[in-house]
Structure 1
């Protein structure tokens, strides 16, 4: 194993070039088209004190030989496996970027016993037709060695035009790599990359290894929708979207990206290390983590009068009469003493905008409350501004439960609003916005609409013939797209917040057309537009609505709204099924609760 302070350069008998550094669990790093092993130097510098890092030069790159003229992903995967054999490594974690992410998947599918986990950065998957055509045209137009125009266009696509000053160094690094790559090796690899986005469509369900699919919110070529789709298909898949990042986030924001890589590798290593245990506690926690929950910050005041708090998703209601709720805190948590001896506590259910607060209260930060706006509730417990709901409780009972304590509170006061809650599942945050972001990649013919509610009434648009329609458009779109849902709402000055997905169905007469409807809220007062109507939920059945599928959906909405128990309809306009959304139940805490 290489010394942690040294970077070793090597070649295998078949001519594959590679770099190696560090010590610890082995990790194979696979770059994207036009780059090389050296592009991983930021990750090597940050990870080499804990991992044995092997960065490969893909076929056609660096010192490695050319790929075949009609190369496929198996050619690149076999090259990597031969490198592992040469180094005597039986099992590794594989981290791949862009084209390298496709190779990483291919390795894990071809040789599952050799791969402990997979991290796919900025991976492509089922490109939309326009994007696929653009990539094919770029592949066909590749010029000679160091084509300045092609390189300039690539750098602009990756970093922006003009390049922001804070990305100048990263852009220069990428440009140097592109200028140095073998022209024929680049062309052969890029032609494969242009068509390989569908290579694993039918195989991802066989991916046995834990897999993290991470991309940037601003990556237009390896979109969040693609990573979300791959994570859904992979049995142990997770999706992570980094806000503000583009395609070359590995060198543009290496510290941020590497922190997420190492955190994932640590989690999967913990699972592997305990695999032989009679009862696998880590795997048990993972199984519990499959339950989608909300995220809360639990607060109290200690004996000295100082506010204390921790992040948890182990929250549920217990009783309506009397009003009781519970939350769990780990006995090893720093705040356990304060909470177990307090007279009460407040449970602040977080909104989508409070991810940062969740992370801070899950950490050992010295002054967590400096990061939020708060005030004492009626019982004196800290109430955090911006929360979706707050339950201010007196302590009813403290229950000993293994390595946790259960705090049962009697609700003294509560508040709630229409903001969208923050979710948590399988070690990652989940928000309704993710599904809306993924919808941006849907076919243009998709009809996207919304059931928008305000104080027990639903918003409709009334036509000249007296019929009523829900607001809907071609795609989710943007405010300046007149045909889209957002464009139509903007045109009528309707201030709406889209929430949860409510129904998806295929058109029975046009198989290419899909209907997608969300639940949401609308703010009053509304504009004076004569078409806008707010109709009481129990009066919707009296409206003239032409589309029978929409009528059926609204009848279901009225029933579920009365019961406050919603589901998601999936099918077509003739038949399908309603998949209920589970109610909250006890689950493992996001963190141990560093109060």
Structure 2
């Protein structure tokens, strides 16, 4: 149950995904953030693979999905993710996403609330207009390892510790034909009303009406999407804040992220 595939059960060009872990039970779908790829979860999935089946996507315009259907904004991505899951017989699942992937996961839940068992948002986009657009623009344009390291360390909290070769590997993904153009397209789609108006915001009334449990995990020192007060989020959201953490939570705090996700998929009391 381990391997990367681009699901082509029809004439569609579906985003690539990887299935990892146990075969039984409703899977946990993991969606990375802007400019990332499924490797975002490399320090998280080993902590979860014995607990729940995992489906880890490269979002459209990213990684092995650079040219897949659904490139552009979060809404197009959510549609492509839902269609890919449906084509592969995944009827019910837990959804989780980091940053822009959080906005995509929320849109998946809003579009198919009967399919999503729980919604788990890690420093998600789309909750408020506030966003450090300049920092994200630098990230979208960085092509070599040194540039990426400088901007990612600004996005993360102090003490980010990543494996050797992490930044070089991130740079190599950006050398693929069309990769930088896809990032520029996705970046522009984040600001439908212009950068000065902030990021696009998901409708709070629809988020408030979601029937599944909704939980959010945020770094207290997030420099990209400022950590909100509980009252700023829909009333049905349960917010957990990690002190001393920035925006890059799957890389910064993989153990805390795994614990957060494990709690979401744990069976409830009989």
Note the alpha carbon deviations across 1:562-590, whole angstroms, 9 max, x for none: xxxxxxxxxxxxxxxxxxxxxxxxxxxxx
The offset of 1:80, in angstroms, is: 0.8
The offset of 1:83, in angstroms, is: 2.0
Partner SS, residue 40 of structure 2: helix
What is the CA–CA distance in structure 2 between the aligned matches of 1:73 and 1:120, rounded to whole Å? Answer: 14
Give the match for residue 188 of structure 1.
185
Give the match for residue 254 of structure 1.
254
The two structures have a TM-score, normalised by structure 1, of 0.39
What is the CA–CA distance in structure 1 between the aligned matches of 2:129 and 2:164, rounded to whole Å? Answer: 25
Q: Which of 8, 33, 38 pairs up with 2:3?
A: 8
What is the CA–CA distance in structure 1 between the aligned matches of 2:204 and 2:171, rounded to whole Å? Answer: 29
Count of aligned pairs between the two proteins: 253
Distance 1:140 1:227, change over 3 A: farther
Distance 1:102 1:88, change over 3 A: same
Map 1:227-306 → 2, pairs under 5 A = 229-230=232-233, 233-235=234-236, 237-266=237-266, 269-270=267-268
Is the contact made by 1:30 and 1:101 (CA closer than 8 Å) also made in structure 2? yes
Partner SS, residue 241 of structure 1: strand
Give the match for residue 21 of structure 1.
20
What is the CA–CA distance in structure 2 between the aligned matches of 1:68 and 1:262, rounded to whole Å? Answer: 30
What is the CA–CA distance in structure 2 between the aligned matches of 1:150 and 1:15, rounded to whole Å? Answer: 31
Give the match for residue 159 of structure 1.
156
Q: Which of 204, 207, 214 pairs up with 2:210?
A: 207
The offset of 1:168, in angstroms, is: 3.5
The offset of 1:152, in angstroms, is: 4.3
Structure number with greater Rg is 1
The offset of 1:147, in angstroms, is: 5.5
Note the alpha carbon deviations across 1:519-575, whole angstroms, 9 max, x for none: xxxxxxxxxxxxxxxxxxxxxxxxxxxxxxxxxxxxxxxxxxxxxxxxxxxxxxxxx
Q: Which of 118, 128, 135 pairs up with 1:126?
A: 128
The offset of 1:226, in angstroms, is: 6.0
Note the alpha carbon deviations across 1:299-343, whole angstroms, 9 max, x for none: xxxxxxxxxxxxxxxxxxxxxxxxxxxxxxxxxxxxxxxxxxxxx
The offset of 1:42, in angstroms, is: 2.1
What is the CA–CA distance in structure 2 between the aligned matches of 1:209 and 1:123, rounded to whole Å? Answer: 17
Note the alpha carbon deviations across 1:379-423, whole angstroms, 9 max, x for none: xxxxxxxxxxxxxxxxxxxxxxxxxxxxxxxxxxxxxxxxxxxxx
Bigger proportion of residues as strand: 1
Is the contact made by 2:60 and 2:70 (CA closer than 8 Å) also made in structure 1? no
What is the CA–CA distance in structure 1 between the aligned matches of 2:36 and 2:135, rounded to whole Å? Answer: 20
Partner SS, residue 63 of structure 1: helix
The offset of 1:139, in angstroms, is: 3.7
Is the contact made by 1:26 and 1:53 (CA closer than 8 Å) also made in structure 2? yes
What is the CA–CA distance in structure 2 between the aligned matches of 1:259 and 1:204, rounded to whole Å? Answer: 24
What is the CA–CA distance in structure 2 between the aligned matches of 1:102 and 1:214, rounded to whole Å? Answer: 13
Is the contact made by 1:34 and 1:178 (CA closer than 8 Å) also made in structure 2? no
For structure 1, list consecutive stretches of 5 or more residues without a partner in the other structure.
Answer: 275-595
Deviates more, 1:219-228 or 1:104-113: 219-228
Give the match for residue 195 of structure 2.
none
- Ranked by relative contact order (alpha carbons within 8 Å, sequence separation 6 or more), the top structure is 2
Give the match for residue 76 of structure 1.
77
RMSD: 2.9
Map 1:466-481 → 2, pairs under 5 A = none
What is the CA–CA distance in structure 1 between the aligned matches of 2:162 and 2:60, rounded to whole Å? Answer: 26
Map 1:500-515 → 2, pairs under 5 A = none
Give the match for residue 58 of structure 1.
59
Note the alpha carbon deviations across 1:277-305, whole angstroms, 9 max, x for none: xxxxxxxxxxxxxxxxxxxxxxxxxxxxx
Give the match for residue 382 of structure 1.
none
What is the CA–CA distance in structure 2 between the aligned matches of 1:194 and 1:227, rounded to whole Å? Answer: 25
Map 1:164-175 → 2, pairs under 5 A = 164=159, 167-169=160-162, 173=166
Bigger proportion of residues as helix: 2
